[in-house]
Structure 1
Amino acid sequence: MQLVVQAKLMPDAAQASAPASTLRTLNEAANRVSAVAFDLGVPREYELRKHTYADLRAQGLGAQAAQHTIKKVRDAYTTLAATIRAGHLGKPGSKRRRNAESAPVAFRPEAAHPFDDRCLSWRYDQRTVSIWTTAGRLKNVGFACSSEALEMLVEHRRGESDLVERDGVFYLMATCEVPEAEQYAPAGFIGVDLGIANIATTSTGYRAAGRGLNRHRKRQAALRAKLQAKKTTSAKRRLKKRNRRERRDVANTNHVIAKQIVTEAERTSAGIALEDLTGIRQRVRLCRPQRVAIHSWAFARLAAFIAYKAKRAGVPLVSVDPAYTSRECAERHHIDTRNRLDRARFVCRSCGVVAHADRNASRAIARRGEDAWNAGRASRVPAAP
């Protein structure tokens, strides 16, 4: 399992300008390679290297830096092709798709760039790195990270690390290969219902977020709308800053929710049943206020956080079909549109059970998760001779 660890670079005054000029030089070179790739119809990496490698070396890039620049461009075109095939840029002939296909892929001056172990070496005991730059090799560049992140770097770092710039501060994003824990046999399942009023509700009674977080989100949306209406340079700068802050806040909230759910499952030796929300935006038809609410939270990212934390802890995880879970009685499994009185109340028309709607849905998801797990185990059991 691959995880990314972030380390903040802390160069001294003499070293401070080198990372910035290196990133800009590398991304300018990537734009030139991208133009060549576009003109040639995006050839294979080997063919692209034959047309661009000598030019990059002549302009002062090191051998490894030139190789990584070419690979970075080719990977960008591969990602673009996959995005188009998946339909994320619209149908053939749409404006977004035409714009993407009619010009070379462009790289921002501060875009991330990969460094391998030949260009970047770590000194964990001294908390320093040695990194290649266009101004020469920088040695003894300090870095800062948490003690947990440092332990993960020492034990599990593998492969490349990306150099990233954010507001004039530089970070190294290191890839770590963390082994997955062995899964245990679950003694039941915890169902997780994702929603608007409550970001996540579990069948054990845990309810995440709620009205306080939703009020905060509405307040942030109102502030964004005011800044967008101004259309001034300072307003755009503040919007960009607020966007990063909101993204960090959402990521932190999702991490807290995911950790709480996985910890509870591990403590009770239970598995986790999650709704499979793949393609939810294409399947569900909602009015405008509901679209804003359901699309403004990173539910897919929350599910990804739960998945990787469950793998690290050895917690079994299954995805289930969420169809009709909001209308199904968790006791008698009776499905009726009238069972759901409103956003919060559930009353079964068959047996009369009264419950919180999200709690009832999470219990229905838990049952489906257990059924899916047992069905998967039965399919792997060999037939009796």
Structure 2
Amino acid sequence: MELAVQVKLLPTPEQASALEATLRACNRAATYASQVAFVKKLTDRNGLQKEVYADLKATFGLSAQPAVRAVKKVVDAYATLKGNLRAGNLGPATSRRYRMAVNTPIVFRPEAAQPFDDRCLSWQYDTHTVSIWTVNGRMKRIRFACSPDQLKTLVAHRRGESDLVQRGGKWFLIATCDIPDPEVYEPVGWIGVDRGIVNLATTSDGANYQGRRLGRYRRWQTRKRAELQCKQTRSATRRLARRAKKEKRHATHVNHRISKEIVSVAQRTGRGIAVEELGGIRDRVRLRRDQRATFSSWPFQQLGQHLAYKARQAGVPFLEVDAHHTSQRCPRCGHTERANRPDRDHFRCRRCGLAGPADVVAGVNVRDRARSAWVLVTAPAPSP
């Protein structure tokens, strides 16, 4: 599996100035190459490189390999755009967002990340430094900081490109590490995980990770954003951007903590993890106006992604199962009815009388469906 390891660079003022000039030159070059690709309908890497390679070197001051990386960055961006259009992520073909994406060339922000391969960037792990190409020449002995575990992962598994990123006046390198997948064990049982808004995650074991604190934090941030938006000043705009990033980091931290605990329990007990397949739920559900902000900021997808990659990293089996009626079906007798759940928090079967917390019942149903699905996944293929 591929794992991104982020380390913080600690450049001197002179080194930081060279890095900033390099990032801006690379993104100006990429924007120029994007315009050429858009006008001349060039989508293949070789064709675009023949068209703009000389200009990128002469006009923007890039050497050979950074020019090649800039071309690849443009080609990858258009490939991603094409995939998003095909998947419907930008809306229907008649929408304004779709038309703008199709009718305008891709533009790269001056501080957008820039990939560097091993010809442009070298790591010195023993001295915690890197050497990187810049428009001012090769910058050597730029210090970086990371944890011992991150360093161990870099030394053993770093492969391919590393992205240079500037974020909030700080510099980072994001390295791609190719870690071999551990063998997935045969589970002795399953942990069903029900994801929600009031309770971010509830397991079939009864563990409950409430979203009340995160919701309260988000509401407080919303009030502060409203106060800043009323000011309509440049300073307020900058503070709004910082607050948005801080709120996003907080929600990510919460999801990391929850997923880490669930995967740890599954690994310790030899069980697998099952979650509901919730793809497209935002398109299927109709909401009142006062519910839209809460629902749109619900981080269920990120929690599922964290559970999936952490489980894969630990060799824990992971499944997504059908989400229909998990909170309305009785796990004991199988009776499914909307009246089984009289309110959000409680479940009571109208046939057999089984009662309990609604989210725990949903987690048990997810667990039971995972047992059946795993049998089908691991069943040998019929012989011809």
TM bucket, shorter chain? over 0.9
CA-CA distance at 1:205 after TM superposition: 1.5
State the partner residue of 1:193.
194
Partner SS state of residue 104, structure 1:
coil
Q: Residues of 2 paired with 1:16 and 1:25: CA distance? A: 14
Cα offset for 1:382? 5.2
> Matched residues in 2 for 1:17 and 1:239: separation?
26
Per-residue CA distance 1:266-298 (angstroms, 9 max, x = gap):
111111111111111122223233332222122
Report what 2:373 is aligned to: 372
Distance 1:209 1:152 in 2: 33
How far is 1:187 from its partner?
0.8
Alignment correspondent of 1:211: 212
Residues 276-287 of structure 1: matches in 2 within 5 Å? 276-287=277-288
Q: TM-score, normalised to structure 1's length? A: 0.96
Residue 252 of structure 1 is matched in structure 2 by: 253
One-letter amino acid matched to 1:151:
K
CA contact (8 A) 1:345 1:354 kept: yes
Q: Which runs of 5+ in 1 are unaligned?
A: none
2:335 is the alignment partner of 1:334: yes
* Cα-to-partner distance string for 1:221-259 (whole Å, 9 max, x where unaligned): 222233233322121111100011111111111110100
**Partner in structure 2 of residue 31 of structure 1:** 31
Per the alignment, residue 47 of structure 1 pairs with 47
SS at match of 2:370: helix
Aligned counterpart, 1:178: 179
Tell me the SS of whatever aligns to 1:93: coil
Counterpart in 1 of 2:311? 310
What does the per-residue CA deviation read over 1:163-190, in whole Å, with 9 as the maximum and x for residues that have no partner?
0001221100000111111111111100
Per the alignment, residue 356 of structure 1 pairs with: 357
Please give the root-mean-square deviation of Cα atoms over the aligned residues, in Å.
1.4
Alignment of 1:104-253 (within 5 A): 104-253=105-254
* 1:43–1:267 Cα change, 3 Å: closer
Work out the CA distance in 2 between the residues paired with 1:193 and 1:227: 36
Instruction: State the alpha-carbon separation in 1 of the partners of residues 48 and 8 from structure 2.
Output: 33
Count of aligned residue pairs for this structure pair: 383
291-300 vs 161-170, which deviates more? 291-300
Percent sequence identity is 51
Which residue of structure 2 aligns with residue 61 of structure 1?
62
What is the CA-CA distance between 1:331 and the residue it aligns to?
1.9
Structure 2 stretches lacking a partner, 5+ long: none
- Residue by residue over 1:282-339, the C-alpha shift from the partner in whole angstroms, topping out at 9 and shown as x without a partner, is 2222323333222212211111111111011111111101000011112222111001
Paired with 1:148 and 1:381, the residues of 2 have a C-alpha distance of 41
Report the secondary structure of 1:15's partner residue: helix
CA separation of 1:382/1:101 partners in 2, compared to 1, >3 Å: closer, same or farther? closer
Offset from partner CA, 1:199-222 (integer Å, 9 cap, x none): 000001211133222212222222
Displacement, 1:381? 5.6
What code does the residue aligned with 1:38 have?
F
Is contact 1:42–1:77 with CA below 8 Å preserved after alignment? no
* Map of 2:6 onto structure 1: 6
SS at match of 1:290: helix
Q: Measure the CA separation in 1 of the matches of 2:42 and 2:235.
A: 39
CA distance in 2, matches of 1:348, 1:37: 61
- Within 5 Å, give how 1:80-99 maps onto structure 2: 80-99=81-100
Q: Which amino acid aligns with 1:343?
A: R
Distance 2:289 2:71 in 1: 44
More displaced 10-residue stretch of structure 1: 242-251 or 281-290: 281-290
Say if 1:201 and 1:208, in contact at 8 Å, map to a contact too: yes
User: How far apart, CA to CA, are the structure 2 residues paired with 1:322 and 1:212?
Assistant: 26
Structure 2 SS opposite 1:199: strand
- 1-side partners of 2:276 and 2:174: how far apart? 31
Letter in 2 for 1:36: V
SS at match of 1:4: strand
Return the letter of the residue paired with 2:329.
E
